[in-house]
Amino acid sequence: MVSVELSVGVGTFRPVESDRLDDHVMHAERYRVAPQVWAACRDARRVVAVGTTVVRTLESVAATGQLEGRTDLFIRPGHEFSVVDALLTNFHLPRSTLLVMIEAFIGPRWRDLYSLALAEDYRFLSFGDAMFLRRSPMASR
């Protein structure tokens, strides 16, 4: 297991207020990935991210080639994943950029997972229950 750093700010938790996802502006957040961590991710047969912030960090490094900096990457449907194959994350709120990322990662089947979570009284948000997701075959690596 290796770790990355993303200084979580308003960009992660600010709800999507625009009618079109393309109009939503992400705030930039600082990240840092050690060279040996990036090498381990590049060489891995499978990368499992623990948390959406890890996905955002790794995909930002893949997009920019920069191991440290600021990212305003908004992962939404159509994003071609370059690094992350699987994700362990909480259940997120409607209209959140995190839920949009989940849809980009697994497609519309997120709705079935959320229906089950609601029916079974799962806990949502940061201290809630978690789900393990494998990336949709439609999203690239």
Q: What is the pLDDT of residues 37-71, one digit of tens each?
A: 999 999 999 999 999 989 999 999 999 999 999 99
Tell me the whole-structure pTM to 2 decimals.
0.87
Phi, psi at residue 50, to the nearest 5°? -105, 95
**What pLDDT was estimated at residue 75?**
94
Domain ranges of the chain: 5-134
Q: 5-134: which CATH number, 3.90.1150.10, 3.40.50.620, 3.40.1780.10, 3.40.630.30? A: 3.40.1780.10
**What pLDDT was estimated at residue 139?**
56
